[in-house]
């Protein structure tokens, strides 16, 4: 189609584009990285990066367009990954499509990750004052994907679970809070305090959410409840109950039955009883209280602040509403 050797420097530039793409597609999460490697293994014809590089040469002197060419190619790649989910396509660039190899759910995450990562790592980090803040989007995907990977796994530990929600939920609370603190001209030390606050706040918020999924009503929570367990997401009340010798074994049996499509009318009631019997709700409340205290303590560096008082109130009210349900 086009011989890259023909244009001085084009081959080297294309190699640079590929290096940038690899750099933009790096993750510490091994499931994400496995998908990214699969995607990068087959590069296709790379007609878009070639066009970018040629258009950067139209005025004679070649300008460095390798980074932006990589970003554009990754946007294209992400869009193909989602298209293949929608069209249920099995093959792409001469190999299995991401949705066929890793499943539709993972393919949705993979596409999202690439979009966020490409735009954020390249553009935001380099040029925007909020670049640092958005860096945490990676941790968000990390948590979401790990949560999905541990779906229906009754051996999930409390540690792994906390690590997952630290990503899935706390990361975005960190972004929200640090973005505000950044706008409000907090110094490095104060930013760290805000980050600490947001992390603990996120943990407390998620544990409360997990609790409400069992003990609230649809009307109150305005979303489908009793859903986590049925979808195979085992949250703290459940994980604590799993560790109970007697109740835990019976709860794991129910989990297995649900996974295999066996269930009866009373299942929801029995799940709640088994968790209650092993103190799963009470244990979760204790953890909520602990993270609430830690969150509040982090804000000590803003002694006279009226906004701090409101943040403390917010923590208190979430904490109280959790206690009100059990």
Q: Considering only residues 130-189, where is the footprint of a copy of itself by CB under 8 A?
A: 130, 137, 140, 144, 148, 172-173, 175-186
Over its C-alpha atoms, the chain yields an Rg (Å, rounded) of 24
Which of 21, 24, 35, 53 is in the footprint of a copy of itself by CB under 8 A? 53
CB of 183 to a copy of itself, least distance (A): 4
**Contacting a copy of itself within 112-131 (CB under 8 A):** 112, 115-116, 119-120, 123-124, 127-128, 130
Which range touches a copy of itself (CB under 8 A), out of 22-30, 40-48, 243-251, 257-265?
40-48
Q: With respect to a copy of itself, which residue has the nearer C-beta, 257 or 313?
A: 313
- Asked if 56 and 62 touch (Cβ cutoff 8 Å), the reply is yes
Which range touches a copy of itself (CB under 8 A), out of 69-77, 240-248, 252-260, 275-283?
69-77
> Helices (DSSP H) in 25-129: which residue ranges?
30-41, 47-55, 66-87, 98-102, 104-117, 125-127
Which of 5, 28, 58, 265 is in the footprint of a copy of itself by CB under 8 A? 58
CB of 63 to a copy of itself, least distance (A): 4
Which of 12, 23, 37, 51 is in the footprint of a copy of itself by CB under 8 A? 51
Stretch (H or E) spanning 95: strand 95-96
Which of 7, 149, 160, 258 is in the footprint of a copy of itself by CB under 8 A? 7
Q: With respect to a copy of itself, which residue has the nearer C-beta, 51 or 262?
A: 51
Q: With respect to a copy of itself, which residue has the nearer C-beta, 108 or 273?
A: 108
Distances (CA, A) of 324 to 99, 313, 318, 321: 43, 16, 10, 5
φ, ψ (nearest 5 deg) of residue 96: -60, 140
CB of 126 to a copy of itself, least distance (A): 8
Which of 281, 283, 291, 302 is in the footprint of a copy of itself by CB under 8 A? 302
What are 87's two structure tokens? Answer: 């069209």
Torsion sign across C-alpha atoms 149, 152, 158, 162: positive
Which of 23, 41, 307, 323 is in the footprint of a copy of itself by CB under 8 A? 307
**Contacting a copy of itself within 12-31 (CB under 8 A):** none
- Asked if 212 and 292 touch (Cβ cutoff 8 Å), the reply is no
Under rule CB under 8 A, residue 90 binds a copy of itself: yes
Pick from 161, 135, 164, 129: which is nearest to 26 by CA?
135
Which range touches a copy of itself (CB under 8 A), out of 70-78, 252-260, 273-281, 288-296?
70-78
Taking the C-alpha atoms of residue 152 and residue 149, their distance in angstroms, rounded to an integer, is: 9
Which residues touch 52 (CB under 8 Å, ≥6 apart)?
Answer: 65, 68, 69, 72
Q: With respect to a copy of itself, which residue has the nearer C-beta, 180 or 277?
A: 180
Which range touches a copy of itself (CB under 8 A), out of 16-24, 30-38, 220-228, 255-263?
220-228
Taking the C-alpha atoms of residue 326 and residue 321, their distance in angstroms, rounded to an integer, is: 9
C-alpha of 91 from chain center:
27
Tell me how many degrees the CA angle 69-71-74 measures, rounded to the nearest 5. Answer: 110
Under rule CB under 8 A, residue 6 binds a copy of itself: yes
Under rule CB under 8 A, residue 92 binds a copy of itself: yes
Taking the C-alpha atoms of residue 289 and residue 293, their distance in angstroms, rounded to an integer, is: 6
């Amino acid at each position: 189609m086009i011989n890259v050797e023909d244009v001085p420097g084009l081959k080297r530039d294309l190699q640079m584009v590929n290096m940038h793409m690899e750099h933009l597609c790096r993750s510490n999460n091994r499931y994400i990285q496995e998908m990214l490697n699969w995607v990068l293994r087959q590069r296709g014809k790379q007609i878009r990066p070639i066009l970018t590089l040629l258009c950067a040469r139209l005025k004679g002197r070649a300008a460095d367009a390798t980074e932006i060419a990589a970003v554009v190619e990754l946007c294209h790649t992400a869009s193909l990954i989602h298209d293949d989910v929608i069209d249920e396509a099995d093959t792409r660039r001469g190999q299995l499509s991401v949705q066929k190899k890793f499943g539709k759910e993972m393919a949705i995450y993979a596409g999202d990750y690439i979009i966020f990562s490409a735009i954020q790592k390249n553009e935001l980090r380099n040029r925007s004052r909020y670049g640092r803040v958005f860096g945490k989007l990676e941790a968000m995907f990390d948590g979401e994907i790990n949560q999905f990977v541990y779906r229906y796994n009754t051996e999930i530990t409390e540690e792994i679970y906390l690590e997952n929600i630290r990503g899935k939920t706390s990361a975005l609370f960190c972004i929200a809070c640090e973005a505000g603190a950044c706008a409000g001209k907090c110094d490095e030390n104060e930013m760290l305090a805000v980050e600490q606050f947001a992390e603990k706040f996120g943990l407390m918020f998620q544990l409360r959410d997990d609790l409400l999924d069992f003990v609230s009503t649809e009307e109150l929570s305005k979303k489908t409840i009793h859903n986590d367990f049925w979808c195979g997401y085992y949250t703290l009340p459940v994980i604590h109950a799993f560790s109970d010798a007697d109740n835990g074994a019976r709860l794991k049996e129910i989990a297995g039955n649900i996974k295999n499509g066996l269930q009866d009318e009373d299942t929801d009631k029995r799940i709640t009883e088994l968790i209650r019997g092993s103190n799963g709700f009470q244990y979760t409340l204790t953890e909520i209280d602990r993270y609430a205290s830690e969150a509040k303590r982090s804000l000590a560096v803003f002694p006279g602040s009226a906004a701090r008082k409101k943040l403390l109130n917010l923590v208190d009210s979430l904490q109280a509403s959790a206690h009100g349900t059990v």
